[in-house]
């Protein structure tokens, strides 16, 4: 499934996310902790599988699972792709802006 198709299906719901459990994560946490938490919660919120997201990023499912566990560092291009997929800013994903 293409990112444009997913966005067209209404996954850009930032207002709803601000009221979800994502807003309870302290932005003062290190990015190594915050980024994996946020990408997992966003993926689950939008009802996507790790396999689907990994295919959109052109990485293996196991590599993406390691991203969510904080065991692998994400490439900048993948962080940007996820921000577009979920309709949030890169700053939000990195904890620079709530």
Q: Which residues contact 60 (CB under 8 A, 6 or more apart)?
A: 54
pLDDT tens digits for 6-57? 444 434 444 455 444 444 445 566 666 789 999 999 999 999 999 999 999 9
pTM over 0.75: no
Domain annotation covers residue 25: no
Domain annotation covers residue 37: yes
Domain annotation covers residue 87: yes
Domain annotation covers residue 68: yes
Tell me the residue range of the domain where 48 lies.
1-6+31-98
Domain annotation covers residue 41: yes
* Dist CA 40 CA 47 (whole Å): 11
Domain annotation covers residue 16: no
Domain count, the chain: 1
pLDDT tens digits for 53-90? 999 999 999 999 999 999 988 999 999 999 999 999 99
| CATH number of residue 40's parent domain | 1.10.260.40
Domain annotation covers residue 54: yes
Q: What is the pLDDT of residue 34?
A: 82
* Dist CA 9 CA 19 (whole Å): 20
Domain annotation covers residue 12: no
């Amino acid at each position: 499934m293409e990112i444009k198709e997913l966005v067209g299906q209404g996954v850009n719901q930032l207002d709803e996310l601000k009221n979800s459990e994502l807003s309870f994560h302290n932005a003062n946490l290190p990015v190594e902790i915050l980024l994996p938490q946020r990408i997992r919660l966003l993926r689950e919120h939008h009802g996507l599988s790790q396999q689907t997201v990994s295919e959109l990023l052109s990485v293996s499912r196991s590599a993406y699972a390691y991203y969510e566990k904080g065991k692998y560092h994400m490439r900048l291009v993948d962080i940007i792709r996820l921000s577009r997929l979920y309709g949030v800013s890169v700053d939000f994903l990195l904890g620079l802006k709530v």
